[in-house]
């Protein structure tokens, strides 16, 4: 029930695509936190998605097939699709704007107080502009949520590992989809395949998202095309948000790696695609219609979406170029299986190159990270605790840590393995001044505290106890029950033992005579024969048995208390 | 155990500057940490008095050992101009914190200033280019709202301050004690920057600038219209307009203003800004768009407001061109450089106009002409007669009295310290703050130390068991009056924990000592023990309504955990003895019961 959720923390712009569904239709009234680049680029991704979908309106949509009995009879992959009844229409731009307006912007290392009870802090995760890991901590417990992190040096600020130390629990998710591929190698392969195709007069199609890896690819090409003699080949970036994406990338200096930051200080644009645009090598268009059709020259390189090949301008290029073996489509986004993406276009003559670039953590990096950060417990999705089904012999492709990671599954509630024992409370200075500490053992002191507890906004404060109220003047007739003491005034606990000889001496000093001491199995009995009083003294108990003489009892009581420590 | 914390706040400016808008440099000692806020220079001096006297901070001993960190609020030279002198010539190797835009722009202004001082005026004993570079290596950039842990105890946090690109207010916090330093700020968004904002962080002390302590400025729109009118009139009659500005800040705001006006009125008169710096400055604004105001941030993809069509780079030769023109030139107080050169050329012609859009420090040419001086003594005993019109327009982005009060209201400090203003005006504001906001307010003179005692509360850990037990009881309906929480504070090294007494005993391996009392209450009564017990039961039940009174099957009566038994001593059948037994924890109730029972039982209704 999403209306019971208080806070949503967004790690990066790829993991906020469903936000409008939550904020607009579920009764969710909590707060959403994200960094500024996450929100801005997330908006671009959603805007592109909505734009692509709305370009091809459907007069009606079939829904009868969602009936379980019918779905079962359909061919794969339709029959394997899960929970089709919950599939939704794409949101509108209006819903996107409304959802994004509910987000609170936060910066890295900003401490955000939630209800006075916990503090959350985003940390750089090194994966994308503004991507964050989150620390959720109280004064005594710390949970780190690590999602979509990268240790490679690309354009974003490097991952902040140091702040993850001393976690009680580390939740680890968003690892690389392609643990076997090395992103650096893939970039090299991307460039060489691109060059090969263009030299042979073919065109290159790169299905991609409008932000993220594309910045790195453009930077590689910037360095590569001149040396490869391809400077005359036009690069086209086609997306309804192409211009915004390129512009936004240049203004987030503070979220970039050190190299790019120092460029801004010069002041120069941090990304070299500014120069590609200036020199007309890179051109961007909102769609294939309009200016693009006039400028279009072949052979060329086209970056466009959507990487699933199901909608967006990429569909046109697949149909335009699919029949010629001169052309190449290069898959770089790891989110979709390229074979499935291509399935409806078969048979294809064009070459297909698969070089997925996923900079997120692989299993070697994970074990390095865990060694560095040393959390007490690791929690991760179930699939990370066993090798991928397709490579079941690769025991290295799973999380290996001590104690073994706790795993969770979809829609499962997992109790985190720690017990809260303490919470912070403030002691007012006036109260602190009145405390009398005593040293019990070397280095350990105790003080008994009696104070008034005030709790407001989950913050606790101890104030000095109020002065005893003045006895009320006898206007009212006194009733017996008025005198009943308030038993909630707690007496301290006692500890220690009473040395009989000294006790007897003290009694004598205070004018008791006629004292007789008898030994018993466990201790002694002190008899005050005149007062018909009996005091049983044992190792950890004292029992005073007397007549109803309150004065006497109180005197004896105070003498006994002198020998004991109070808590 | 807990000496009240002690905050010392020290405000340090060399002699001569007085309580004025000179150079900012404040030393704050808070809970044993020493932080220097800003490191400014005085524009009005050319000698030693230009830089703060750092021997104030520590007579002997290195600054690096004494200071935990240095914070620079923004790139204006009266806030950062002495930084290379301080770090490289006096010697400081610790961290210097500033925002990213400040870090980017600060070295450029310093270099620019150095060039004027050394290359043009030939001053010796000044910092070098290399020193500026070395100094900037010590800088750590901070994000807005990022909590920077300077060390285990000291943390700082930056808030948006408006004023100029990258200007920030800083919160300095040690434990539960904190200080907010505003630097310069403005509370109303202008054409290119947003308004300062701070959360309700309730610092012990708010150190705020008070440049415009008495001014409550008229609406911005009026001032803008006024400005445009004056510029327009002057160029219409063929005059030249000189607007001395600092390269960054007002220059951009006024450029945006003139650019839109020129476009709307379709004017052809050339607008220039002095070469190099201002042009470069616009690039910074383009790259640091997230630091500008909402409108510019929203529209920058379609149109970057800092790409000007009508405004062109200025060449020195243009100053002698005939005909009207508008020139933005640096620096803003006419104390050196290009603006002064142009001023000297144009001052003799009454058709021309100089518009001073900001504050001028005493001793500068700007200050002199604004205070009405029309004959200026220049270098080499030359006297310059000023015939051109002199206009002052307050465009400088400082908070006015209303804005300062607003910020104090936002942050809710315990006390306020006014700096960076003129004594008389500050006195007025001080009274206003004390009367209207009921916050104590200080306005120290330069070099004076203000000491504020603070009494921080002491954070300890409370065991959840104890806390929950108390909170549950706190929810009971009868618990309206304040209830006492009872526990034991265990102090081991610096680890303080508050636990229930039982737990404290257990943790320390101590056994509880039980103290029990049994009182014999003699009553004259001939009835049987069982009947006696029953009467005791009904009597207590009627008196102790709030307590749990029970009659047990074995004939005894309990009140809470107090046990009452009736016995018949064999020797006297007319007397019965009630044995009342309780532990020390029930002392009050036990004592009450015995005295109650001593009075005897009421006659049973027959």
B265 plus B176 within the same structural domain = no
Are both B282 and B347 inside the same structural domain?
yes
How far apart (Å, rounded) are the C-alpha atoms in residues B470 and B474? 6
Q: What is the pLDDT of residue A421?
A: 82
CA distance A338 to B601: 95
Q: Which of A422, A480, A491 sits opposite B463 (nearest CB)?
A: A422
Confidence bin at B14 (pLDDT 50/70/90)? very low
In this structure, are residues A342 and A352 in contact, taking their beta carbons and an 8 Å threshold? yes
- List the one residue out of B16, B166, B139, B20 whose CA is nearest residue B83: B139
Taking residues B42-50, what's their average pLDDT?
A: 73
Contact B13, B52 (CB under 8 A): yes
| Backbone angles phi and psi of B375, in degrees to 5 | -120, 115
Kind of pairing between the strands at A282-285 and A235-238: parallel
CATH number at residue B264: 3.40.50.10890
| Cα-to-chain-centroid distance, residue A275 | 37
CATH numbers and ranges of domains, chain A = 183-327+335-353 (3.40.50.10890), 494-566 (3.30.310)
In a domain, B478, yes or no: no
Confidence at residue B205, expressed as pLDDT on a 0 to 100 scale: 92
**Residues from chain A contacting residue B160 (CB–CB below 8 Å):** none
The dihedral formed by the CA atoms of A73, A78, A81 and A84, expressed in degrees to the nearest 10: -80
The reply to whether A432 touches chain B by the CB within 8 Å rule is yes
Note whether B197 and B342 are same-domain residues: no
Do B51 and B172 lie in one domain? The reply is yes
Query: DSSP labels for B120-187?
Result: IT--SS---HHHHHHHHHTEEEE-BT-EEESSSSEEEEEEE--TTTT-EEEEEEETTEEEEE--S--S
B383 and B401 part of one domain = no
Tokens encoding A354? 């698969």
CA distance A427 to B459: 6
Q: Domain boundary at B377, B392, B407, which?
A: B392
Nearest partner of A408 among A386, A387, A379, judged by Cα: A379
- Same domain? For B540 and B507 the reply is no
Q: How far is B5 from chain A (nearest CA, A)?
A: 9
On whether both B248 and B383 belong to a single domain, the answer is yes
Domain final residue pick, B392, B412, B439:
B392
Domain tally, chain B: 4
In a domain, residue B481? The reply is no
- Cis? peptide before B295, omega within 30° of 0: no
- Domain end among B392, B419, B440: B392
pLDDT recorded at residue A563? 83
Residues B386 and B405 in one domain: no
Q: Going by C-beta distance under 8 Å and a sequence separation of 6 or more, which residues neighbour residue A325? A: A349, A350, A351
Per-residue confidence (pLDDT) for residue A426, from 0 to 100: 86
Question: What is the average pLDDT value for chain B, to the nearest integer?
Answer: 83
Residue B1 lies in a domain: no
Q: What is the pLDDT of residues B302-323, one digit of tens each?
A: 887 788 888 888 888 888 888 9
Eight-state DSSP code of residue B266: T
For residues A313, A318, A321, A327, the Cα torsion angle rounded to the nearest 10 degrees is 110
Rounded CA-CA distance B315/B292 in Å is 29
Cα separations in angstroms, B454 against B31, B66, B204, B205: 9, 22, 7, 10
pLDDT given for residue B533 in this prediction: 82
Which of B492, B498, B499 best probes binding to A when mutated, by most A CB atoms within 10 angstroms?
A: B498
Nearest to B361 by CA among B389, B386, B331, B384: B331
The per-residue pLDDT for range A284-330, each reduced to its tens digit, is: 999 999 899 999 998 999 999 999 999 999 999 999 999 999 999 99
> Collapsing DSSP states into helix, strand and coil, what is residue B297?
helix
Q: How far is B458 from chain A (nearest CA, A)?
A: 5
Task: For B304, name the nearest residue in chain A, comparing CA atoms only.
Answer: A247
By the 10 Å C-beta count (0-12 exposed, 13-18 middle, 19+ buried), A288 is classed as middle
Output B387 or B357, whichever has higher pLDDT: B387
Instruction: List the single range of A148-152, B167-171, B385-389, B400-404 with lowest mean pLDDT.
Output: B400-404
Q: Closest by alpha carbon to B187, among B381, B404, B477, B501?
A: B404
DSSP-derived secondary structure letter, B212: B
Both tokens of residue B453? 């005692």
Tokens, residue B257: 């203003």
Contact status of A267 with chain B (Cβ, < 8 Å): yes
Q: Could you tell me whether strands B69-71 and B33-37 are parallel, antiparallel, or unpaired per DSSP bridges? A: parallel
Q: Are B501 and B487 in contact (CB under 8 A)?
A: yes
- Residues near B368 by Cβ (< 8 Å), separated by ≥ 6? B376
A126: CB partners within 8 A, 6+ apart: A149, A150, A151, A152, A156, A157, A158, A159
Reading the block at residue B440, the tokens are 């104590």
> Could you tell me which chain A residue has the CA closest to the CA of B497?
A422
Q: Order of strands across the sheet with A541-547? A: A515-519, A523-528, A533-538, A541-547, B514-524, B575-583, B562-567, B557-559, B549-551
Q: Residues B61, B170: one domain? A: yes
Do A449 and B487 make contact, defined as CB atoms within 8 angstroms? yes
Instruction: Indicate whether B424 pLDDT > 60.
Output: yes
Q: Does some domain include residue B552?
A: yes
- Would an 8 Å CB–CB cutoff place A251 in contact with chain B? yes
Q: Is residue B472 part of a domain?
A: no
Our measurement of the distance from residue A226's CA atom to the centroid of its chain's CA atoms, rounded to an integer in Å, reads 43
Cβ contact A242:A210 at 8 Å: yes
Residue B142 lies in a domain: yes
What are B214-273's pLDDT values in tens digits?
666 666 678 888 899 999 999 999 999 999 887 776 788 888 889 889 988 999 999 998
- B503 and B416 in a single domain? The answer is no
CA distance A206 to A212: 14
Are B487 and A448 an interchain contact pair (Cβ–Cβ within 8 Å)? yes
Option in A423, A560, A561 nearest B462 (CB): A423
Residues in chain A with pLDDT values less than 50: 471-478, 480-481, 487
pLDDT tens-digit map of A159-178: 999 999 999 999 999 999 88
All residues at 6 or more sequence positions from B421 whose CB lies less than 8 Å from its CB, including other chains: B19, B20, B21, B209, B210, B211, B212, B213, B429
- Would you tell me the crossing angle of helices B277-287 and B100-114 to the nearest 10 degrees? 170
Pick B489's closest partner by Cβ from A254, A447, A550: A447
Q: How far is A173 from chain B (nearest CA, A)?
A: 25
Q: Check: CB of residue B328 under 8 Å from CB of residue B303.
A: no
Q: Residue B591 sits in a domain of what CATH number?
A: 3.30.310
A504-535: burial string, b at 16+ Cβ within 10 Å, e else: bebbeeeebeebeeeeeeebbbbbbeeeebbb
Judge: B461–A424 Cβ closer than 8 Å, yes or no.
Answer: yes
Instruction: Measure the CA–CA gap between A25 and A10, rounded to whole angstroms.
Output: 18
Classify residue B538: in a domain, yes or no: yes
Selection from A316, A315, A320, A356 nearest residue A337 by Cα: A356
> Touching check for A56 and chain B: CB below 8 Å?
no
Per the domain annotation, does B418 fall within a domain? yes
Enumerate residues 6+ apart whose C-beta is below 8 A from B532.
B523, B525, B566, B576, B578
Establish how many alpha carbons lie within 13 A of residue B561's alpha carbon, considering only the half-sphere containing its beta carbon: 10
The reply to whether B388 and B406 lie within a common domain is no
To the nearest whole angstrom, how far is the Cα of B348 from the nearest Cα of chain A? 39
Rounded Cα–Cα distance for residues A445 and A442 (Å): 8
Task: Quickly tell me which residue has 């020195």 as its tokens.
Answer: B316
Return d(Cα B441, Cα B207) in angstroms, integer.
10
Range(s) of the domain holding residue B369: 220-392
Catalytic sites of B, residue numbers: 209
Q: Helical H runs in A284-381? A: 291-295, 314-321, 338-342, 363-373
> What are phi and psi for residue A131, nearest 5 degrees?
-70, 140
Closest CA to A208 of A196, A221, A195: A221
- Phi-psi domain of B4 (left: phi exceeds 0; alpha: psi -120 through 50; beta: other): beta
Residue from B298, B280, B302 nearest B289 by CA: B298
| Residue A312 phi, psi dihedral angles, 5° rounding | 90, 180
Under 8 Å between Cβ of B55 and B447: no
Q: What is the distance of C-alpha B553 from the center of its chain?
A: 69
Give the model's pLDDT for residue A19: 95
Q: Are residues B39 and B100 located together in one domain of the fold? A: yes
CATH assignment at residue B74: 3.60.15.10
Q: Strands of A103-106's sheet, edge to edge? A: A7-9, A31-35, A103-106
Set of chain B residues whose Cβ sits within 8 Å of the Cβ of A141: none
The pLDDT of B362-368, averaged and rounded, is 83
Q: E strands within A77-202?
A: 103-106, 112-114, 118-124, 132-137, 142-147, 169-173
Chain A residues inside the 8 Å CB shell of B463: 421-422
| Distance in angstroms (rounded) separating the CA atoms of residues B21 and B446 | 11
- Would the CB atoms of A545 and B520 count as touching at under 8 Å? yes
Report the distance separating Cα B453 and Cα A13, nearest Å.
47
- Mention every residue, 6+ apart, whose C-beta is less than 8 A from residue A434: A464
What sign for the dihedral angle of Cα A305, A307, A312, A314? Answer: positive
A481 touches chain B (CB under 8 A): yes
What CA–CA distance (Å, rounded) separates B506 from B508? 5
């Amino acid at each position: 029930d999403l209306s019971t959720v208080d806070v949503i923390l967004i790690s990066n712009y790829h993991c906020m695509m469903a936000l409008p569904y939550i904020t607009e239709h579920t009764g969710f009234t909590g707060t959403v936190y994200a960094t500024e680049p996450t929100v801005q680029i997330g908006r671009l991704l959603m805007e592109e998605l909505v734009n692509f979908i709305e370009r091809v309106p459907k007069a009606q949509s079939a829904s009868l097939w969602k009936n379980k009995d019918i779905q079962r009879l359909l061919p794969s992959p339709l029959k394997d699709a899960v929970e089709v009844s919950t599939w939704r229409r794409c949101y509108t731009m209006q819903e996107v704007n409304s959802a994004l307006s509910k987000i609170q912007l936060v910066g890295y290392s900003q401490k955000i107080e939630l209800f006075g009870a916990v503090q959350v802090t985003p940390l750089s995760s090194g994966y994308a502009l503004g991507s964050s890991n989150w620390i959720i901590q109280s004064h005594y417990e710390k949970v780190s949520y690590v999602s979509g992190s990268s240790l490679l040096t690309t354009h974003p600020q490097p991952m902040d590992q140091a702040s993850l130390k001393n976690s009680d629990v580390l939740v680890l998710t968003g690892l690389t989809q392609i643990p076997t591929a090395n992103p650096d190698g893939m970039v090299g392969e991307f460039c060489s395949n691109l060059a090969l195709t263009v030299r042979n007069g073919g065109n290159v199609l790169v299905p991609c998202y409008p932000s993220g890896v594309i910045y790195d690819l453009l930077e590689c090409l910037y360095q590569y095309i001149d040396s490869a003699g391809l400077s005359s080949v036009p690069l086209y970036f086609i997306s309804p948000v192409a211009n915004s994406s390129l512009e936004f990338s240049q203004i987030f200096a503070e979220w970039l790696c050190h190299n790019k930051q120092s460029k801004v200080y010069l002041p120069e644009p941090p990304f070299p695609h500014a120069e590609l645009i200036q020199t007309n090598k890179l051109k961007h268009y909102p769609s294939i219609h309009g200016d693009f059709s006039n400028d279009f020259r072949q052979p060329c390189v086209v970056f466009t979406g959507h990487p699933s090949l199901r909608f967006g301008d990429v569909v046109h290029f697949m149909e335009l170029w699919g029949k010629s073996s001169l052309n190449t489509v290069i898959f770089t986004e790891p989110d979709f299986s390229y074979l499935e993406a291509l399935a409806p276009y078969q048979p294809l003559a064009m070459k297909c190159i698969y070089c997925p670039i996923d900079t997120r953590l692989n299993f070697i990096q994970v074990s390095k990270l865990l060694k560095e950060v040393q959390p007490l417990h690791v929690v991760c999705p179930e699939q990370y605790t066993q090798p991928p089904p397709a490579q079941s012999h690769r025991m290295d492709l799973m999380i290996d840590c001590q104690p073994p990671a706790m795993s969770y599954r979809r829609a499962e509630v997992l109790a985190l393995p720690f017990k809260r024992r303490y919470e912070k409370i403030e002691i007012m200075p006036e109260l602190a001044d009145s405390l009398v500490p005593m040293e019990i053992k070397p280095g350990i002191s105790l003080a008994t505290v009696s104070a008034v507890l005030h709790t407001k906004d989950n913050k606790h404060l101890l104030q000095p106890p109020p002065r005893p109220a003045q006895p009320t003047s006898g206007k009212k007739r006194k009733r017996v029950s008025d005198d009943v003491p308030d038993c909630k005034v707690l007496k301290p606990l006692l500890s220690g033992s009473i040395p009989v000889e000294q006790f007897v001496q003290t009694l004598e000093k205070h004018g008791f005579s006629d004292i007789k001491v008898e030994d018993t199995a466990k201790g002694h009995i002190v008899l005050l024969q005149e007062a018909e009083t009996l005091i049983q003294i044992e190792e950890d108990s004292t029992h005073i048995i007397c007549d109803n003489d309150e004065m006497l009892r109180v005197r004896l009581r105070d003498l006994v208390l002198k020998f004991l420590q109070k808590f | 155990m807990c000496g009240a914390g002690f905050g010392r706040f020290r405000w340090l400016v060399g002699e001569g500057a007085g309580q004025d808008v000179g150079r900012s440099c404040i030393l704050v000692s808070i809970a044993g940490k020493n932080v220097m806020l800003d490191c400014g220079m005085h524009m009005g001096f050319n000698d030693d008095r230009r830089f703060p006297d750092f021997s104030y901070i520590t007579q002997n001993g290195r600054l690096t050992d004494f200071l935990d960190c240095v914070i620079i609020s923004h790139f204006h030279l009266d806030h950062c101009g002495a930084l290379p002198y301080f770090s490289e010539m006096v010697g400081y190797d610790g961290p210097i914190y500033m925002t990213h835009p400040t870090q980017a722009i600060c070295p450029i202004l310093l270099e620019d200033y150095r060039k004027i001082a050394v290359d043009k005026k030939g001053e010796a004993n000044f910092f070098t280019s290399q020193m500026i570079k070395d100094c900037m290596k010590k800088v750590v950039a901070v994000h807005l709202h990022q909590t920077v842990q300077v060390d285990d105890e000291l943390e700082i946090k930056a808030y948006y301050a408006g004023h100029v690109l990258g200007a920030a207010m800083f919160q300095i916090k040690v434990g539960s004690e904190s200080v907010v330093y505003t630097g310069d700020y403005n509370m109303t968004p202008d054409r290119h920057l947003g308004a300062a904002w701070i959360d309700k962080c309730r610092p012990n002390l708010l150190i705020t600038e008070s440049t415009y302590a008495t001014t409550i400025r008229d609406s911005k729109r009026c001032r803008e219209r006024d400005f445009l009118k004056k510029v327009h009139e002057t160029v219409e009659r063929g005059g030249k307009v000189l607007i001395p500005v600092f390269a960054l800040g007002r220059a951009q705001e006024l450029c945006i203003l003139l650019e839109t006006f020129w476009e709307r009125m379709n004017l052809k008169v050339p607008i220039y800004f002095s070469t190099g710096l201002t042009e470069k400055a616009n690039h910074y604004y383009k790259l640091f768009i997230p630091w500008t105001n909402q409108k510019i941030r929203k529209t920058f993809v379609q149109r970057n407001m800092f790409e000007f069509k009508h405004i062109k780079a200025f060449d020195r030769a243009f100053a002698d061109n005939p005909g009207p023109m508008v020139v933005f030139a640096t620096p803003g107080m006419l104390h050196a450089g290009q603006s002064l050169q142009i001023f000297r050329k144009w001052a003799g012609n009454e058709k021309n106009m100089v518009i001073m859009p900001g504050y001028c420090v005493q001793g500068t040419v700007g200050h002199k002409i604004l205070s009405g001086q029309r004959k200026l003594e220049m270098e080499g005993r030359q006297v310059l007669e000023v015939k051109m019109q002199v206009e002052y327009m307050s465009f400088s982005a400082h908070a006015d009295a209303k804005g300062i009060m607003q910020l104090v209201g936002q942050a809710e400090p315990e006390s306020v310290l006014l700096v960076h203003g003129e004594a008389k005006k500050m006195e007025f504001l001080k009274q206003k703050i004390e009367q209207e906001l009921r916050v104590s307010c200080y306005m120290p003179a330069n070099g004076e130390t203000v000491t504020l005692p603070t009494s921080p509360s002491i954070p300890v850990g409370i065991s959840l068991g104890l806390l929950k037990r108390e909170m549950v009881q706190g929810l009971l309906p009868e618990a309206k009056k304040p209830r006492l929480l009872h526990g034991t504070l265990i102090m081991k090294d610096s680890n303080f924990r508050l636990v229930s007494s039982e737990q404290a005993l257990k943790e320390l391996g101590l056994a509880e000592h039980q103290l029990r009392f049994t009182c014999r209450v003699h009553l004259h009564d001939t009835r049987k023990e069982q009947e006696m017990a029953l009467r005791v039961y009904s009597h207590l039940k009627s008196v102790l309504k709030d307590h749990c009174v029970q009659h047990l099957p074995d004939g005894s009566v309990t009140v809470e955990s107090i046990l009452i038994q009736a016995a018949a001593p064999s020797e006297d059948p007319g007397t019965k003895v009630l044995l009342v037994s309780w532990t020390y924890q029930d002392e009050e109730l036990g004592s009450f019961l015995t005295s109650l029972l001593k009075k005897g039982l009421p006659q049973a209704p027959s």
